[in-house]
Amino acid sequence: MTDLMPAAGELGPPGAQAWRMFFRNRAAVFGLVMLIVIIVMTVLGPLLYTQDPSDIIARPLQGPGSEDVPRLGTDYLGRDVLAGVINGGSASLTVALVAVLLIVVIGVTIGALAGFYGGWIDNALMRFTELFQVLPALLFAMVIVALFEPTSMTVAAAIGLAAWPQTARLTRAEFLRLKNLEFVKAARAIGASDFRIIWRVIFPNALPPLIVAITLVMGAAILFEAGLAFLGLGDPNTVSWGQMIGLNRRDFLNAWWTVTFPGLAIFATVLSFSLIGDGLQDAFNPKLRGR
Amino acid sequence: MEPLLSVRDLTVTFGSFTAVEGVSFDLHPGSMLAVVGESGSGKSVTALSIMRLVDLGTRGRIESGEILFRTPDGVVDLVAEPEERMRAIRGNQISMIFQEPLTSLNPVYPVGDQVAEAVILHQGLSRREAAARVLEMFRLVRIPEPDKRMSQYPHEMSGGMRQRVMIAMALSCDPKVLIADEPTTALDVTIQAQILGLMRELREETGAAVLIITHDMGVVAEVADEVVVMNRAKVVEQGSVFELFDAPREDYTRALLASVPRLGSMAGKAKPAPFDLVEYNR
């Protein structure tokens, strides 16, 4: 510790420090604000702008600001693009959220058990993980969606099943690092059970890198969902951003607005998660700052 | 007097390497036994074997021998106890203090909560009762402003304070045996003296038998009643601290005693002189 660093006692619990550093990072705060705006738009938008995105409201492919469609124009069927952008977010975000929950539950459990117990348990679990890792994620997810009915939940499950191995590996690495530290030995020496040591002693210490990874995975899951929807593998009964781009792709040279606005929405959402993830990374790992 | 803890012919291996070979000693109620020896002599492994924690993340295995522990329900062999029974003994009847107070506490929880953990686990106290017990323990180990300290995180405390917290944690369930694995090695000399003094006082106040592991002959002379000298996995010599310091029987013990520098022994010399490698063969 040099004089440049504040003394150990002055900073408060490690979590509080990280938050302070996060809010000092302009890009990260911008990402957070952008995400909040997107979420508010998704939740409140349909209440304020009540146009049904499936209704045909005008002639097809009218540009933004045309006389009869004053907003963001119409798509190839004459549906309102603005209504699509507003309503498409909830499908994307819900699918991504459920997928990430699945990724976290599977990935963290398998990674924690493998890292903590080691030996043959580690071997078995890691070979199982590799089995999923060597499958091309997009193809694997496409197969799952194609086999079952393409509802939001199957899409989420497909993304979750295709993307958990990285989280498992990260969790395992953290557990390998932490399990031999003195405080784990000390917890054992007061008679704590394995379950307690894994979840109450080691897991909270593994959280910072996991939170960062999960934030970035959230962005990736949104992209993944958009990709599947673009390929026509999303739920056909709900509007989503990827689906809008996919359906309008034949007309995008002469009607740029049909794909640009949903594309911008995806871009903004993924960017906001990336900025937040980077900000958290810097906050939890001060050594990386200034790079 | 009946020993409280009796290690009989203990052998511990790590793969093909034998870390402890045929070690035997007795620990009597209320006494303080020091296990001394250089790095790698097997003293820490002996201590971890008593807690049955040698298999932790390594390939350590208790090969043979018994560790007899006298409990109110009769004598049990800790080598053969099922893991679940061991968990009830650890931290409750036998507890342990580690070498590194800086890393022995979990950085994400306040220290008070960590001490409370042990009493909640073993004595089924409620959170509130446990907090009262923690306060009592912090007073016992002479932590100033104990009520304030309880809610602090480990990084807000000094090394000596953290070691006091560790001792409070170890003593919180009134153990019969306290194992201290180099409790003062990571601390500076004045804090060492404080911690050793504290341990001596606490032994008198709580009546716990203490097994202290150290490589520091100064520490041995300061606190121990009995001494076990170990080298290369074996016991070289054991006896009362007076016998050992007055009339060491083995060359190795003599060499170990001679390795402690005396104040003024460097007078008139320009720089530290290299000394011969001590080879000990039985």
Each residue's pLDDT tens digit, B21-39: 999 999 998 899 999 988 8
- Look at residue A287 in the predicted model and tell me its pLDDT: 59
Find tokens 């008139």 and name the residue: B268
The question of ipTM being above 0.85 is answered as no
Percentage of chain A beyond pLDDT 70 is 90
Contact A62, A72 (CB under 8 A): no
Rounded to 5°, angle at Cα A225 from A222 and A228: 150
Contact B98, B166 (CB under 8 A): yes
Cβ count near B74 (within 10 Å):
6
Query: How does strand B226-231 pair with strand B234-240?
Result: antiparallel
pLDDT tens by residue, A30-80 = 999 999 998 988 888 888 887 777 777 777 777 777 766 667 777 777 788
Mean pLDDT computed over B204-231: 88
Contact A190 B117 (CB under 8 A): yes
Nearest-by-CA chain B residue for A177: B57
Chain B, 75-134: which have a CB under 8 Å from a chain A CB? 87-92, 95-96, 98-100, 103-109, 117-118, 121-122
Distance from CA of A75 to the nearest CA of B (A): 53
The segment with the largest mean pLDDT, out of A244-248, B72-76, B227-231, B261-265, is B227-231
User: Smallest Cβ distance to B98: which of A185, A192, A193?
Assistant: A185
Contact A68, A59 (CB under 8 A): yes
Find tokens 């993340």 and name the residue: B57
Distance CA B233, CA B44 (A): 11
Distance CA B26, CA A44 (A): 74
Give start and end residues of each alpha helix (H) in chain B: 43-51, 83-89, 111-123, 127-140, 146-149, 159-171, 189-206, 217-223, 241-246, 251-258
Mean pLDDT computed over B208-216: 89
pLDDT tens by residue, B79-116 = 888 988 888 899 889 999 888 888 889 888 889 999 99
Contact B56 A185 (CB under 8 A): yes
Helix axes A14-24, A26-48, angle to 10 degrees: 80
- Look at residue B193 in the predicted model and tell me its pLDDT: 84
Contact B90 A189 (CB under 8 A): yes
Which one, of B243, B98, B259, lies nearest residue B185 by Cα? B98
- Look at residue B109 in the predicted model and tell me its pLDDT: 87
Residue A11 has pLDDT above 50, yes or no: no
Reported as a pLDDT band with limits 50, 70 and 90, residue A128 is: very high
Residue A29 has pLDDT above 50, yes or no: yes
Buried b (16+ CB within 10 A) or exposed e, A148-168: eebbbebbbbbbbbbbbbbbb
Contact B11, B20 (CB under 8 A): yes
Q: How far is CA B34 from CA A215, B39, B195, in A?
A: 52, 15, 15
Q: Which chain B residues are closer than 8 Å to A189 by Cβ?
A: 51, 53, 90-91, 95-96, 98
- Look at residue A116 in the predicted model and tell me its pLDDT: 92
User: Smallest Cβ distance to A8: which of B53, B156, B166?
Assistant: B156
Q: How many CB pairs under 8 A join A and B?
A: 77
Sequence-separated (6 or more) residues with CB below 8 Å from residue B245: B221, B257
Q: Which chain B residues are closer than 8 Å to A188 by Cβ?
A: 53, 56, 90
Percentage of chain A beyond pLDDT 90 is 21
Query: Long-range contacts for A260-264 (Cβ within 8 Å, ≥24 apart)?
Result: A261/A72, A261/A81, A261/A82, A261/A85, A262/A81, A262/A84, A262/A85, A262/A88
B157 burial (CB, 10 Å; 0-12 / 13-18 / 19+) is buried
Distance CA B66, CA B20 (A): 13
pLDDT tens by residue, B142-198 = 889 998 998 888 888 888 889 889 988 988 888 889 999 888 887 788 888 888 888
Contact B103 A181 (CB under 8 A): yes
Distance CA A71, CA B34 (A): 84
User: Smallest Cβ distance to A190: which of B57, B155, B169?
Assistant: B169
Terminal CA-CA length for chain B = 31
Q: Please compute, for residue B115, the number of CA atoms within 13 A of its CA located in the half-sphere on the CB side.
A: 35
Distance CA B244, CA B226 (A): 9
Cβ count near A204 (within 10 Å):
15
Reported as a pLDDT band with limits 50, 70 and 90, residue B57 is: low
Q: Is A181 on the interface with B (CB under 8 A)?
A: yes
Distance CA B64, CA B11 (A): 5
Nearest-by-CA chain B residue for A14: B108
Nearest-by-CA chain B residue for A11: B156
Higher pLDDT among residues A62 and A166, named by residue: A166
Mean pLDDT computed over A253-282: 87
Sequence-separated (6 or more) residues with CB below 8 Å from residue A211: A280, A284
Distance CA A204, CA A155 (A): 30
Distance CA B159, CA B138 (A): 15
- Specify the pTM: 0.80
Q: Which amino acid makes up residue A130?
A: E
Q: What is the DSSP string of B92-134?
A: TTEEEE-S-TTTSS-TTS-HHHHHHHHHHHHH---HHHHHHHH
User: Smallest Cβ distance to A189: which of B95, B103, B122?
Assistant: B95
Q: What is the DSSP string of B164-197?
A: HHHHHHHHTT--SEEEEESTTTTS-HHHHHHHHH
Which one, of B54, B52, B66, B67, lies nearest residue B13 by Cα? B54
Residue B274 has pLDDT above 80, yes or no: no
- Look at residue B280 in the predicted model and tell me its pLDDT: 60
User: Smallest Cβ distance to B153: which of A13, A187, A193?
Assistant: A13
Contact B187, B98 (CB under 8 A): no
Residue A6 has pLDDT above 60, yes or no: no
3-state secondary structure chain A: CCCCCCCHHHCCCHHHHHHHHHHHCHHHHHHHHHHHHHHHHHHHHHHHCCCCCCCECCCCCCCCCCCCCCCCCECCCCEEHHHHHHHHHHHHHHHHHHHHHHHHHHHHHHHHHHHHHCHHHHHHHHHHHHHHHCCCHHHHHHHHHHHCCCCHHHHHHHHHHHHHHHHHHHHHHHHHHHCCCHHHHHHHHCCCCHHHHHHHHHHHHHHHHHHHHHHHHHHHHHHHHHHHHHCCCCCCCCCCHHHHHHHCHHHCCCCCHHHHHHHHHHHHHHHHHHHHHHHHHHHHCHHHCCC
A59 burial (CB, 10 Å; 0-12 / 13-18 / 19+) is exposed
Reported as a pLDDT band with limits 50, 70 and 90, residue A4 is: very low
Residue B281 has pLDDT above 70, yes or no: no
Q: Which chain A residues are closer than 8 Å to B109 by Cβ?
A: 204
Cβ count near A81 (within 10 Å):
26
Contact A186 B109 (CB under 8 A): no
Q: Is B155 on the interface with A (CB under 8 A)?
A: yes
pLDDT tens by residue, A212-251 = 888 888 888 888 888 888 888 878 788 888 888 888 888 8
* Averaged pLDDT of chain A: 83
User: Smallest Cβ distance to B104: which of A13, A183, A204?
Assistant: A183
Nearest-by-CA chain A residue for B151: A13
- Look at residue A102 in the predicted model and tell me its pLDDT: 93
pLDDT tens by residue, B113-156 = 999 988 898 888 888 899 999 998 898 888 899 989 988 888 88
